[in-house]
Amino acid sequence: MTPAIKKEIRVRIAPSPTGYLHVGTARSALFNWLFAKKEGGKFILRIEDTDLERSEKKFEKDIIESLKWLGLSWDEGPFLQSDRLDVYEKYIRQLLEQNLAYYCYCTKEDLENERQAMLSQGMAPKYSGRCRSRTKTKEKPQVIRFKVPETRVAFKDLIRGEISFDTSLIGDIAIAKDPRTPLYNFAVVIDDYEMQISHVIRGEDHIANTPKQILIQKALNFPHPHYGHLPLILDPDRSKMSKRYSATSIGEYRKEGYLPEAMVNFMAFLGWHPKDEKELMTADELVKEFDLERIQKGGAVFNIEKLNWINSQYIKNLSNEELLQRIKDFGFAVKKISDAQLAKIAGITKERMKKLSDFSELADFFFELPDYSSELLIWKETPRETIKENLEAILKLAPDSGKIMKLAEEKGRGEILWPLRAALSGKMASPGPLEIMDILGEKESAKRIKTAIKKLSD
C-alpha cells in the first residue's frame, strides 16, 4: 500500500497593523512558528491592513521589528492585503454574479432601528436580509453582503474538539464595503486559500468568525483548513489581559529589558506545557517538544513574577561578554572603562539582575561612588571608632585579599567586611567587597576607603 502523501503544513500569523504587536498575537505567532518548525512546514506573515482608517505604517513596522526581535522568522511574506485588492475583487464579483452575495443599501440608522425592533421582540439581533431581493436602485450601496444559508456548521477544533454553530443566528455577513474594499472575514478566507494555509491557529476570540469563514469557503468551493483556537491570555484576576494590569505590547517588554529568548520561553508556556516539569526551554527544545495536543483549553494567566524569574535565569546563563553586549545594545554607555572591566562588572552584577534595565542601578557605584551617610559603614553595634580603626588597618593591607580575609577572621567578618563593602560601594546592597576591590583596582579602592575614614572622622 502506498502511504498517503502528507499535505504540506503551511501556517500563518495575520496581524492587523492597528496597534503595536500584542503579547497575544506574539504568542499566536510563536505557536504557529513552533508548529511549522516541528512539522517541517512553512510559516507565513500576512499584514491584514484592510481597515484603512485604523491601520498605520508605524504599527506595521513595530510588528515586523518585534517578530524579528523574538526570532520568529517567516518563510514567506510579509504579504500586505492592501497589495492584493485585485484578488479580492475577483472573488467578490464572482459571488455577486452567482447571486451568493448582494449589495446592501441599509444605512447605519436602518440597521439600528432593525436591531432595536428585534430586541424589543425578545429576539437575538441579526441582519434581517431585507436587501437580498432588492434590485439596483439609485442609492449608494453601503456594503456587500454574503447570503448566509440557514444550516449548521461544524468543525473539529484541534484544541477544543467538536464545535458547531447554528448559522440561522448569524445573519448575512458584510464581506466588503465595495468590490475593492474587502472586510476581515472575506479577505481572510481568500488569503488562507490563495496562500494554501493548511492550519489556522489563532486566538479564541476568533471562534465566532470560523463558521462565517467556513460558509464563505463552501460558497467558493475552497477546501477548509484545520482550525485550532488558542486559550485567551488572562490577567491574574482572570479577566482578559488588558493594559490596565500589564503591559500588552512586545515592544514594552523589550524596552524594559527582557531578553527575547526569555520572552519566547515564557510565552510558550502561556497555554502549553511540556510533558515534564521543565520551566526553562530554548527555542530549539520547544520546537522538538511542541505538540498541539498539549495546548490547554482554559485561559492562561500572565504571571509577571514568572517572566521575571525566567528572564533572570537567562541573564545569569549568559557569558559576561555576551551580557555586556546585550547591556550595550540596550542603550547603556560608559566611557573610560575597558570592555574587559565592564564584562567583569556585568559578571558580578548578573546574579542580582532581573532585567537588563536593572544594570545601571545595580552597577552605578562602580563608575561613581554615590554620596552616602557614615551610618552606612557601621556594622551592628560596633562603635564608630572601632570601624574607623578597622578601615585604617584594611587600607594598609589593600588590595591583598588574603591578608584582609585573615584580618576578618581575627576581628570578626562583619566588622571588617561590612564597612569595607559599604566604603567601596556606598550602598546598602552590593556584591562582596573583595570582588568589588578586584574590579576597582588598588588606587580607586584606596581612595574610597580613605573617603570612608574621613566620613567617620568628621
- Least distance to ligand GLU, CB of residue 14, Å: 4
- Least distance to ligand GLU, CB of residue 216, Å: 13
Residues 113-172 that bind ligand GLU (CB under 6 A): none
- Least distance to ligand GLU, CB of residue 248, Å: 14
| Amino acid code (one letter) for 341 | Q
Q: Of the candidates 27, 145, 199, 202, which one interacts with ligand GLU according to CB under 6 A?
A: 202
- Each residue 29-58 as x (binds ligand GLU by CB under 6 A) or -, in order, gives -------------------x----------
- Each residue 5-34 as x (binds ligand GLU by CB under 6 A) or -, in order, gives ---------xxx------------------
What separation in angstroms does the CA of 302 have from each of 198, 247, 269, 285? 29, 11, 10, 22
Beta carbons within 10 angstroms of residue 65's beta carbon? 15
Catalytic residue among 108, 243, 335, 336: 243
- Least distance to ligand GLU, CB of residue 290, Å: 19
H/E element holding 184? helix 184-194
Residue 170 · residue 125 · CB < 8 Å: no
Residue 411 · residue 397 · CB < 8 Å: no
- Least distance to ligand GLU, CB of residue 243, Å: 17
Between 199 and 202, whose beta carbon lies closer to ligand GLU? 202
Closest CA to 270 of 242, 243, 294, 244: 294
Between 14 and 214, whose beta carbon lies closer to ligand GLU? 14
Site for ligand GLU (CB under 6 A): how many residues? 7
Q: Of the candidates 38, 134, 160, 206, which one interacts with ligand GLU according to CB under 6 A?
A: 206
Spatial distance between the Cα atoms of 379 and 76, rounded to a whole number of angstroms:
63
- Residue 33 three-state SS: helix
- Least distance to ligand GLU, CB of residue 46, Å: 8
Between 281 and 292, whose beta carbon lies closer to ligand GLU? 292
Phi, psi of 160 (to 5 degrees): -105, 0
- Least distance to ligand GLU, CB of residue 21, Å: 10
Residue 255 · residue 66 · CB < 8 Å: no
Between 146 and 418, whose beta carbon lies closer to ligand GLU? 146
Beta carbons within 10 angstroms of residue 402's beta carbon? 9
- Least distance to ligand GLU, CB of residue 18, Å: 8
Describe the strand order of the beta sheet including 10-13 as a list of residue ranges: 10-13, 42-47, 76-80
Between 66 and 430, whose beta carbon lies closer to ligand GLU? 66
42 - beta bridge partners? 10
Between 190 and 437, whose beta carbon lies closer to ligand GLU? 190
Query: Residue 389, class by beta-carbon neighbours within 10 Å (0-12 exposed, 13-18 middle, 19+ buried)?
Result: middle
Instruction: Report the DSSP pairing between strands 76-80 and 42-47.
Output: parallel
- Residue 440 three-state SS: helix
Between 47 and 422, whose beta carbon lies closer to ligand GLU? 47
Which single residue is written with the C-alpha cell 428585534?
A: 118
- Least distance to ligand GLU, CB of residue 191, Å: 9
For the chain, the helix, strand and coil percentages under 3-state DSSP, each to the nearest 5: 50, 15, 35
- Grid cell digits, residue 34: 513552533
Between 15 and 231, whose beta carbon lies closer to ligand GLU? 15
Cβ neighbors of 244 (< 8 A, separation 6 or more) are 235
Between 10 and 202, whose beta carbon lies closer to ligand GLU? 202
Is 243 among the catalytic positions? yes
For position 349 contacting ligand GLU by CB under 6 A, the verdict is no
Q: Of the candidates 70, 92, 188, 263, which one interacts with ligand GLU according to CB under 6 A?
A: 188
Torsional sign, CA 186, 188, 189, 193:
positive
Cβ neighbors of 51 (< 8 A, separation 6 or more) are 16, 18, 184
What separation in angstroms does the CA of 202 have from each of 8, 26, 167, 205, 238? 19, 10, 21, 8, 20
Active-site residues, by number, are 243
Q: Name the site residues for ligand GLU (rule: CB under 6 A).
A: 14-16, 48, 188, 202, 206
